[in-house]
Amino acid sequence: MMISDELFPLFLPWLIFFGLVLIFKKLFSLAKKQKAGAIIFGALIQMMMPDPYAERTVKVVQEDKKTIKKEQDENEDDDKAKEQDKTPLFLEED
């Protein structure tokens, strides 16, 4: 009994590792067969996992919005300038 009490804590991380490997192997085989349970489980895990690039994604979206707004403002300014440049035909002199 004394030996097993000493060895169990040493092998516990390895037992957990191999248990996870077996679980992932089973999930992988189910996902390859496109079973709904495996796909749903994967989607739930993906939703629960944090996005490591969340801040970067937010910054990129904000920058894109700024550039789009700037382009729209420039286009509006160009359209206004074009409208002012147009002179009506009846005011032109020959």
Q: What pLDDT score does 81 carry? A: 66
Q: Is 94 helix (H, G, I), strand (E, B) or coil?
A: coil
Q: What pLDDT score does 39 carry? A: 85
Q: What pLDDT score does 23 carry? A: 92
Q: What pLDDT score does 29 carry? A: 92
pTM (whole model) above 0.75? no
Q: What pLDDT score does 1 carry? A: 54
Would you kindly state where each structural domain of the chain is located, as residue ranges?
A: 1-49, 52-85
Which of these, 79, 22, 73, 85, lies nearest to 30 by C-alpha position? Answer: 22
Low-confidence ranges of the chain (pLDDT < 70): 1-3, 81-94
Q: What pLDDT score does 83 carry? A: 66
Q: What pLDDT score does 75 carry? A: 80
